[in-house]
Amino acid sequence: MAATILDGNKIGDQIKAELTEQIRDLKNSGITPGLAAVLVGENPASQIYVRSKVKACESLGLYSEKIDMLADTSQERLLALVDSLNSRDEIDGILIQLPLPPQIDSKRVLEAVDPAKDVDGFHPVNVGHLVAGTPGLVPCTPAGIIEILTRSRIPIKGARAVVVGRSDIVGKPVAMLLLHQHATVTICHSRTRDLPAVAREGDILVAAMGKAAFLTGEFIKPGATVIDVGTNRLTTPEEIRHIFHDPSGPLEKLAAKGSVLVGDVQPEDVKEKASAYTPVPGGVGPLTISMLMSNTVKAARMRRGSRRNTAAA
């Protein structure tokens, strides 16, 4: 039986349709949720990401600002910008696009963002809420992974979940969210002994380590659900021949487009061994933007909606 493709575009569109109604209700009460996206430097991938986020805001009727800063911007100037955005009531979400240039301490900048406006969910206050299971703003990609699983009716409660990757952005928070959904969770990393054997224990396998097609068939339990978070760009025929069993299609794509996008899971092996999987592209990626929009609406409701309720009382 063929593996089920978990279509991130379709699920993302469902979430956006639900958000449209929430945004309409907020606007009827005089609140237009607002997002400020800050881009420092001219990283091409970052420019694409920020553009797509601003475009998503426009399509949903959210207020958005894109703030471009030069690559040599000082840390003090960036912190001053964050401080000014913190004080602006019409801005509900502040997005600092990573990576930042080397002269800037990313951690310090992210911690300067008001936790109530931290729509990326990276601030220690929101990390604390996540660990405690109390209301807060949750990192977008991990939140999107939970949406994919629940909306696809993949059982989480009681499942063995294996997360390969321990980053603060994906690995750790998705492990915590799965734990809150009553999965039994194992976090793996580069120093895990016999990584393939541990990965094969997962009814749900989340690949988030940033290595192209690293997880081959020997990592996948037959019938598992595989969530591939990786976005790795292949630009040479040698890379493609090394990864694909049948490189003919990807080589044609490389010739036409100049690159081929693959995840952290071997794309042919996952089709043979998994019962369901997220493709790359078109899997987790669209959910990340949908959940950013969701967090912006949530931040507006938590910040400004609560004040309206208090005033009305």
* 97 a catalytic residue: yes
**Catalytic one among 114, 118, 120, 203?**
120
CA atoms of 293 and 295, how far apart (whole Å): 5
* 89 a catalytic residue: no
**Catalytic one among 16, 97, 203, 264?**
97
CA atoms of 129 and 111, how far apart (whole Å): 15
Q: In what order do the strands lie in the sheet with 204-207?
A: 4-5, 276-277, 225-228, 204-207, 160-164, 184-188
Coil, helix or strand for 179? helix
E strand intervals along 42-159? 63-69, 93-96
- Bridge pairing between strands 184-188 and 204-207: unpaired
**Catalytic one among 16, 53, 117, 273?**
53
- Bridge pairing between strands 260-262 and 232-234: antiparallel
* 181 a catalytic residue: no
E strand intervals along the chain? 4-5, 34-40, 63-69, 93-96, 160-164, 184-188, 204-207, 225-228, 232-234, 260-262, 276-277
Assess contact for 113 and 94: CB atoms under 8 A.
yes
Q: Which two tokens stand for residue 198?
A: 């541990």
CA atoms of 281 and 265, how far apart (whole Å): 12
CA atoms of 36 and 96, how far apart (whole Å): 9
Coil, helix or strand for 227? strand
Q: Which residues are catalytic?
A: 53, 97, 120
